[in-house]
Amino acid sequence: MRSVKANAPMNHLHAHDNARVKSVLPAALNAQLMPASRLLPESQSMADAELTHILKNGLETGVLHELRCQQSRDAGALVGFAFGLLSRLKQRETKPVLWISAPFADTCNMTLFPQGLANWGFDPARLVIVRPLTVMQALWAADEAAKCTDLAAVILHIEGHPKALDMTATRRLSLRASESGTTSLILRQAGEEEATAATTRWCIAPHPSHRSRAEMSSEVNSVLGHDIGFSAVFSDLERNRHGATSSAPLIWNHQIRGFRYVADQETRTTRPPAAVPQYSVPGAFNGQDQPPALGQVVAFQNTLERAS
């Protein structure tokens, strides 16, 4: 009993959409992000529908990027965004992708779902999963993999801020990546902002798709009125070594396997009000940037004496 949805042409929507996007985003961003190799190849038919300014002209291959999400339950959006990028990464290539799942990263008791990956546009047969026992082993594996020229990308999936993954480690990863030309991604689940050697850092959050549903209702003759629209994520480019940052909700267009902006102008510039989590899970468990504990630590004996 699958819901049925009519398949309507979407292309004119993108063209119209993109015209506005170009005018809104700063031109400087476009100019500064011009490295030699590009993550996304120039594609003719969908060039206008892509994330023209940031992704296609910007995201470098052969360097280290970091993607993070604030809460573990946003892992879906994070992993989806990463695989969205990977499936755009030289789409015709069949080189394998190495996914290194550091210990504790699977504390949420979840695994990648091959059918879901295929559904999302990524061939699961290209994926090799490494499950090391310690963070040090995970870093070693990432190092080795980043040296390998025979890979499309290396993904290091971690939770929080392990102490071993510091500036030195990320710097080494980034150097290895630039030597071999293998794109490296750090997926930091439930992570805070941390200084790393990554070229860009993105904060990914889920974004309601019902905004795009408004567009869809005019375009698509939906049989069931309350269908979920295209998946959307709020991507926040927090840090960019080569220039400006930007933040915008993006829609993953499943048909063409590409991202595009949400047409609604207001949601693009401002971030949706972040829901206050009912249970704030600390992002770091053994990180180095922990705030000091409140109050003064006094010997128990002293306190007793003072009280008496």
The neighbour count for residue 275, using CB atoms within 10 Å, is: 8
- 282 belongs to the binding site for other proteins (CB under 8 A): no
24, 27, 31, 128: which one binds other proteins (CB under 8 A): 128
Judged by CB under 8 A, how many residues of this single chain contact other proteins? 76
The CA distances from residue 122 to 84, 90, 233, in Å, are 8, 12, 18
Distance CA 307, CA 188 (A): 47
Site string for other proteins, 15-54 (x = CB under 8 A): ----------------------------------------
Distance CA 252, CA 232 (A): 6
- 62 belongs to the binding site for other proteins (CB under 8 A): no
Tokens describing residue 300? 């128990």
Site string for other proteins, 73-112 (x = CB under 8 A): xxxxx-xxx-xx----------xx-x----------xxxx
Q: Which is nearer to other proteins, 200 or 267 (CB)?
A: 267
30, 35, 48, 129: which one binds other proteins (CB under 8 A): 129
Output the smallest distance, CB 14 to other proteins, in A: 15
Tokens describing residue 160? 């929080």
- 287 belongs to the binding site for other proteins (CB under 8 A): no
Binding segment for other proteins (CB under 8 A), chosen from 15-23, 72-80, 160-168, 260-268, is 72-80
- 176 belongs to the binding site for other proteins (CB under 8 A): no
Tokens describing residue 223? 């049989």
- 117 belongs to the binding site for other proteins (CB under 8 A): yes
Binding segment for other proteins (CB under 8 A), chosen from 14-22, 39-47, 67-75, 260-268, is 67-75
Site string for other proteins, 135-174 (x = CB under 8 A): --x--xx--xx-xxxxx-----------------------
Report 195-234 residues binding other proteins (CB under 8 A): 205-210, 213, 224, 226-228, 231-234
Distance CA 180, CA 17 (A): 37
- 191 belongs to the binding site for other proteins (CB under 8 A): no
Tokens describing residue 47? 């060039």
**Cα dihedral sign, 31-33-38-42:** negative
Terminal-to-terminal C-alpha distance of the chain: 75
- 279 belongs to the binding site for other proteins (CB under 8 A): yes
CA angle, residues 170, 144, 63, in degrees to nearest 5: 45
Report 247-276 residues binding other proteins (CB under 8 A): 252, 254-257, 272, 275
Q: Calculate the dihedral angle through the C-alpha atoms of 210, 74, 79, 166, rounding to the nearest 10 degrees.
A: 140
121: left (phi over 0), alpha (psi -120 to 50) or beta: left
Distance CA 53, CA 74 (A): 25
Q: Which is nearer to other proteins, 105 or 237 (CB)?
A: 105
Question: Of 111, 3, 76, 60, nearest to 252 (Cα)?
Answer: 76
Output the smallest distance, CB 290 to other proteins, in A: 24
